Amino acid sequence: MGRNFLGIRRRVAGHGTGSGAACAAKPATGPPSAGERPGDTRHADPLDGGLADIIRYGAGMLDDVEDAVRRCRSEAEPGADLARTCGTLVSGYLTLRERLGALPATPLSLRVDQLLNYALLVTDQASLLAFRARDEQWQRLADEFGDGLGAPAEELRALAALTENRPPERAG
């Protein structure tokens, strides 16, 4: 288990194990067709440009989010380690959303942004609960988190599974 560019443990199987094989250049046969012109994304792969990496990193952090939420709901005296974990996760999702915002907006990228924001908000709200005074409302609020992260997290994991056969984007 390595650490990703955010310093967060990776849990997505096969991440970072691309073949490294260079893509063969397409021979020039005249002007590009309509689907190949720069800026024309009608035939572009929606996972190009780093979107697949963002999805994988976001999904790879979900196990840590689940653990952090569980700890926020159960630790009687949460400490600095839990605060650091939650802060790192929130920061990681903010960074991914920032990277996503630099990509062209597509229906898929907009949905991924919603899914990343969901994980960020769940983590943030759980950490607020953990460090809140233990009054008569605390247990009710903790119970409202339920078990697991729900459908948005499963959707992000499913998207990540679709990207498993893609090598990570290389900075160039």
Taking the chain, what is the end-to-end CA distance rounded to the nearest angstrom? Answer: 25
Q: State pTM to two decimals.
A: 0.71
Q: Which two tokens stand for residue 45?
A: 């792969």
Q: Which residue is listed with tokens 């800026």?
A: 39
Q: Which two tokens stand for residue 149?
A: 């992260």
Q: Which residue is listed with tokens 């009687």?
A: 76
Confidence of residue 167 (pLDDT cuts 50, 70, 90): low
Mean of pLDDT over the chain? 77
Asked if residues 55 and 159 have their Cβ atoms less than 8 Å apart, the reply is yes
Q: How do residues 102-161 score in pLDDT, each as one tens digit?
A: 999 999 999 999 999 999 999 999 999 999 999 989 999 999 888 889 999 999 999 999
pLDDT at position 165, please? Answer: 74
Asked if residues 116 and 93 have their Cβ atoms less than 8 Å apart, the reply is yes
CA 71/CA 63 separation, integer angstroms: 12
Q: Which CA distances in Å does 158 have to 52, 61, 115, 164?
A: 12, 14, 12, 10
